[in-house]
Every structure is written in C-alpha cells, then in structure tokens.
Structure 1
Amino acid sequence: MTTPEPTPAAPAPDAAPVVRLGYHGSVEVAGRIAALAGPGRAAVRTSQYDINDPFRGVLAGELDVIVVKFSLREPELACSRVLTTDARAAVLGAAHPLADRASVSVEELADHDTFHCPGALPGYVWDEVVPPYTPGGRPLRRRHRATDVAHMMELVAAGAVHLSLVSLADVAPPGIRIVPVHDLPPAPVALAWRRRVELPAHVAEFIAAAEREASR
C-alpha cells in the first residue's frame, strides 16, 4: 500500500512591509512623524538608537530611516525637509534653583555647568544643542560627560544642567524637571537615510507621505 503524498501547504500571504524607524529620546516625536505619513501600506517599527553612535544603525542597513534633530551635514546621509519641531528646554533636578520656573532664559543657564558632546555625534550638531555662547555672548560651560540618557539624568539629579528639548519630558524620571527655554528657537526635526542606496518602495513612500503632510 502506497502512502499518499502530503498535500503542500498553501503559501502564506506576503507579510506587510515594515519601515524600521530609529529615534533618540522621546518616541512621541517618532510617532508624530509616523502619524504624518499616515497608515500607508507599511507597518512602522520604532527602535531607539545610541546617541553616542547615532548613524551606525542606518549606515549598516539595520534601520531604514532615522529621526534627526537640528541641521545635519553628513556626506553619507540624505535628509528630508523639516517635518516638525521640538521646543528647547533645560533638564533640571527638582532641587535646582531654576526648577520651579515656568520658563528660563539660556542666559541664565550660563551660570551652570552643562554637558560635553556625546560620543560620535557631530560637533556641529552639538553646537546647536548646547551653543558655545549664548545670544548675549556668555559662554556655556560644557563640563559634564554622560554615557546615555539614564546617566545624564543621574548627573542632572545631582546638580548638572542639560540644555535639551521639551520632548525629554516623556522619558524624565521622577525628580527631574523639564523647563522650557524661551529665548532659543525650537529644533527642526527631519528624517535621514543612507545616500546613494535605493530605498525600498514602502520606505520612500513613507518619507514622501510625511513630507507632503508636513507641507500642508
């Protein structure tokens, strides 16, 4: 008696394409950009990249596109138009003398020690995050070094000041205050991807849709 051949399984439907979107800091900003792009035909999977080596994942092909803030001039990366902004803020420990203010001036932050540029983040980007000088000409003292956001928050709780972005309120632990800085412009937020590499169609569509909606 012959054993019947097994019936081949029906082929599984193609999985929906995925946009691998990298971000740093608050995932809310990445979500804002994904909302601009709309549902499209692809899912969006977010993952946080290391600010000490921010472009490694996208250049290695592990991420399709990353959220970047401020101006980027990297020869290996292409950038979208500005899609949204992130307001400036001081990250302060609850016991800091400025922590209970509704807002602060960057001129006041010149009285306090801030942070050095982390890792391989380009220095020209950090000059926009923590300007060497305030608009009034006072130097901002970059004296603290942090290995990651958690370490930075520990140093802030101990008295350091981080000149950063309002969106960090989403990841600030108890005892940390995010106080708006009223005399610095907000950071422009865009997407970046590998230059001279053909993007998958669903990734190109995601970027184009976000740009179209941002321009409305």
Structure 2
Amino acid sequence: MELRHLQAFVTVAEELSFRRAAERLQMSQPPLSQQIKRLEHEVGVPLLRRTTRQVALTTAGLAFLSEARRALRAAQAAPQAARQAAAGQTGVVRLGFSGPTSHEVLVLMTRKFRERRPRVRLEVHGPVFGGELVDRLNRDEIDAGLIRLPVAGSGIRVRELTRHPIAAAVPAEHPLATRREVGVLDLRDEPVVSHPTNRGAGIVSLIHSAFMQHGSSPNIVQEAPDTHTILSMVGAGVGVGFVPVSAGHLKVPGVVLLPVSDIPPLPLALAWRTEDPNPALHALIDLLDEIAADCRTHADDPL
C-alpha cells in the first residue's frame, strides 16, 4: 500500500470532489481516479460512492480515513524520530551502579542527564558489584556502569568522576569513636569486617596495600556482601570496617565514621564498552565533564 495512494484518498475524502482534490495535489483527475481505484482494489471494498454530482464516503471509507490519516502522520514523523535517535535525543541508556556509596553520583548524573536529554529513558540496574558489572557490560546487559577503579578486562573505557576518601566505621562505644580521624596504625590490631574480594575488589586492594605499607595485614574476621551489611556488623560489635565516606548517608545506628588519614581516596568512574554505538549512551558520555564538575561541587559543598 503506497503512501501516495493514502494521501490521494485522504485529500478526496476531505474535499469530496475529485476536481478540487486534484488541484490540491497538483495533478490531473484521471491519474487521481486510477490511484483511488487501485487503493480500493487493494483494500477489497469500495471506499467512495461516486455519482455525477457528488462524492461521498462509504462506511468502510469512513473507517479507513482515520487509519489512513494516522499512517500518514506516522510516515511524516518517522524521519524526525530517526534523526532524533541518531542524535541521542531519544532512546534508552541502561545504567548499572555498584552499591549504595555511588548513590550521590547516581543522583547527580540522573539529574544532569534529565536536564539535557529529557526524552532519553535512563534505566537503572543495581546494585551490580565490581567484576559482575564488567561481565554485564561485556554481555550487553547494560550500556554503562558506575564502578570503583581499577577495572579489569579489555574493550572497556572508563572516565573517573570523583574520589571518595576512606573512613573507618567503628562502634559508637569504641575508644577511637571520639577521634576526628585515625590512621592505619590505630587500627592494625582491630578485627575487621570486610567486603569480599569478588564484590569490593577496589576497596579491598586499597586496604590491604595500606596495611602492607605499615608491615601488617588487616585482621579480617568476617566478610559482608555490601557496605550496608558491613556497617550493620560494625554496629553489632563484630569489628571495624573500611568504607567510602559517602556511606555516611546510610546512617546506621551505633556506628561512627572516622576519616582514615593515610589511605588514599577510592575512585568512582563510569565504564562503558569501547565500541558501543548507542547514540543515547554517547550523549551521556558527552556530559561526563559537567557531571564530574558537579561531583566536585557537591563534595566541597554537600547538598
């Protein structure tokens, strides 16, 4: 079914005159009549009643008219929709995040992206931890992910957005709880509740490296699957934990966070597949400098 035949029918239906319709379409009447006949043959029922004096819609023609108009509107909108999708103005970005300590950045990123690309749908998947997030990227289950550095694997690009200082989570009744900050030496004999290496590899490596520089290793007495559980175990008196200071918004009762002066900050980055062609994803990537600036502002002047 050709669009020009639909346009011819709609014009005749609006004018109820082959002469006036032909004038609007800038064509002669005989080819216009032939187009309507071909259309009726294709549909299989008469769409117009013709007499020497008038043209009228049949019941079938009246029903066909609304659908023909809809088809023409869709055909007119299709090129614009394609151009908008190619420009990253519409579409979907599936975004994974690595845990509750990335929530602040997730909020800032979502806010900025919605301001600049309000017609792109941002699907949030998570929490997806460490190596699992990279695996899901490689399987094309997500388009990008907020992840702690370093990232292992090939074919993945990363852009660091912010760095979170490390804090020691201690029970509120702990002798160190009244301190403004602590160092690794203050904690080397403490029992530690730790992330498992397969879920928090970045922070686990960071903590082990810091302890090794002081000639020791952390006394890990229990592993916990995520930051919130670590804080809960600390509140229960199991031991101390090491978490990004951004975990402070979790506000677990009976837990105090103390900055650790001699452990470097933990980077948080956006990761994506190097060869991903998704224009909506590239629209997000184009905003990363602004998002990183928002993260710095937020760190200096918390909301």
Instruction: Tell me the TM-score normalized by structure 2.
Output: 0.59
Q: Which has the higher contact order (CA 8 A, sep 6+)?
A: 1
1:158 to 236, 239, 253: 236
1:25 to 83, 92, 100: 100
Unaligned runs of 5+ in 1: none
2:282 to 204, 207, 211: 204
More displaced 10-residue stretch of structure 1: 142-151 or 165-174: 142-151
2:177 partner letter: A
In percent, how many aligned pairs have the same letter?
24
Do structure 1's residue 77 and structure 2's residue 135 form an aligned pair?
no
For the pair shown, which has the larger CA radius of gyration, 1 or 2?
A: 2
SS at match of 1:120: coil
Q: Shift of the alpha carbon at 1:76?
A: 4.7
1:25 partner letter: P
Q: Shift of the alpha carbon at 1:89?
A: 0.7
Deviation string, structure 1 residues 17-40 (Cα, Å, up to 9, x no partner) = 333322222310223445676833
Measure, in 1, the Cα distance between the counterparts of 2:252 and 2:148: 22
**How does 1:1-216 map onto structure 2 within 5 Å?**
2-3=59-60, 4-5=62-63, 7-8=66-67, 9=70, 11=74, 16-23=90-97, 24-26=99-101, 27-34=103-110, 39-41=115-117, 42-51=120-129, 53-80=132-159, 82-118=160-196, 120-121=198-199, 123=201, 126-131=204-209, 133-159=211-237, 160-195=239-274, 197-211=275-289, 214=292
SS at match of 1:211: helix
Measure, in 1, the Cα distance between the counterparts of 2:90 and 2:135: 26
SS at match of 1:83: strand
SS at match of 2:211: coil
2:224 partner letter: A
Measure, in 1, the Cα distance between the counterparts of 2:284 and 2:109: 10
SS at match of 1:58: helix
Unaligned runs of 5+ in 2: 1-57, 82-88, 297-303
1:101–1:38: structure 2 CA closer, same or farther, 3 Å change rule?
farther
CA contact (8 A) 1:34 1:210 kept: no
1:149–1:83: structure 2 CA closer, same or farther, 3 Å change rule?
closer
Q: How many residues are treated as equivalent by the alignment?
A: 214
- Bigger helix fraction: 2
1:112–1:209: structure 2 CA closer, same or farther, 3 Å change rule?
same
CA contact (8 A) 1:72 1:125 kept: no
Measure, in 1, the Cα distance between the counterparts of 2:214 and 2:197: 28
Measure, in 2, the Cα distance between the counterparts of 1:177 and 1:29: 23
Instruction: Tell me the TM-score normalized by structure 1.
Output: 0.79
1:176 partner letter: V
1:175–1:101: structure 2 CA closer, same or farther, 3 Å change rule?
same
- Alpha-carbon RMSD across the aligned residues, in angstroms, is 3.3
Measure, in 2, the Cα distance between the counterparts of 1:125 and 1:95: 25
Measure, in 1, the Cα distance between the counterparts of 2:260 and 2:192: 14
Deviation string, structure 1 residues 121-165 (Cα, Å, up to 9, x no partner) = 375662124436253223222231113344323211122211121
Measure, in 2, the Cα distance between the counterparts of 1:189 and 1:123: 13
Measure, in 2, the Cα distance between the counterparts of 1:106 and 1:205: 42
1:177–1:112: structure 2 CA closer, same or farther, 3 Å change rule?
same
